């Protein structure tokens, strides 16, 4: 089994910063893409940012220039640095990882339990 554990969420004021972390553990042979998604109340879950094993990144238009995704491959950890936070960033943030558990196995997507980010004055 593979577990993803997020941390770093909290309550901040508009304009402030937060850094989220997500560590993967368990039976891991390799991890391809890791990403962050968010889901606000009454809305669908959406991609925030993703990073491949080769370091290519992708961002939602709404966070470009404010958020930065990075990863530590040796630690199976992905980070999301969030700057200039806005009230509309308020959501539960989820980590996802595409993991192979064997050398010739398929990749499966695993999700973390989510961490709340609230931006409010």
Q: What is the pLDDT of residues 17-60, one digit of tens each?
A: 999 999 999 999 999 999 999 999 999 999 999 999 999 999 99
pLDDT value, residue 43 = 96
Does the structure show a pLDDT above 90 at 104? Answer: no
- Tell me what the mean pLDDT of segment 72-98 comes to: 97
Residues contacting residue 112 through CB under 8 Å, at least 6 positions apart:
4, 5, 6, 22, 94, 95, 96
- Tell me what the mean pLDDT of segment 1-21 comes to: 97
């Amino acid at each position: 089994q593979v577990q993803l554990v997020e941390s770093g969420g909290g309550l901040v004021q508009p304009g402030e910063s937060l850094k989220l972390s997500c560590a993967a553990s368990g039976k891991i042979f390799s991890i391809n893409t890791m990403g962050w998604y968010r889901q606000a109340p009454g809305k669908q879950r959406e991609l925030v940012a993703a990073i491949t094993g080769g370091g290519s990144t992708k961002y939602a238009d709404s966070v470009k220039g404010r958020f930065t995704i990075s990863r530590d491959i040796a630690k199976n950890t992905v980070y999301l640095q969030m700057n200039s936070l806005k009230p509309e960033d308020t959501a539960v943030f989820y980590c996802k990882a595409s993991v192979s558990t064997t050398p010739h196995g398929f990749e499966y997507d695993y999700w973390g339990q989510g961490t709340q980010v609230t931006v409010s004055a």
